[in-house]
Amino acid sequence: MGGEGGKLGFWSVFSIGVGGMVGGGIFAVLGLAAQLAHGSTPIAFFIAGIVALSFTRCFIMRVMMLPEIKLLEMVCGKIWIDI
């Protein structure tokens, strides 16, 4: 965790900052979704989940079609430039 004497290091402080930003973003999006969907928030999140799963499936199928290309290269965009 921290270094000597309970001091926080760079990565500890960085993790706290990122966690706070992500956590705050999740609650902000949930509140906005509840306001806009007027009670249909679970349905809206279900549809968003289906869209995310379909994108993930397409991404995995693309990786399986090109086994010689590493996943990191594909995520970083090298494959998109080469095609």
Q: What residue segments make up the domains of the chain, in order of their start?
A: 1-39, 40-83
Whole-angstrom CA distances from 34 to 11, 13, 22, 53 are 34, 32, 18, 22
Global pTM?
Answer: 0.48
The answer to whether the beta carbons of residues 54 and 43 sit under 8 Å apart is no
* CA separation for the pair 74, 50 (Å, rounded): 23
Q: Pick the more confident residue, 31 or 69.
A: 31
pLDDT > 80? residue 44? yes
pLDDT value for 34: 84
pLDDT band at 83, cuts 50/70/90? very low
**Which pLDDT band holds residue 79 (cuts at 50, 70, 90)?**
low
User: In this model, does residue 2 exceed pLDDT 50?
Assistant: no
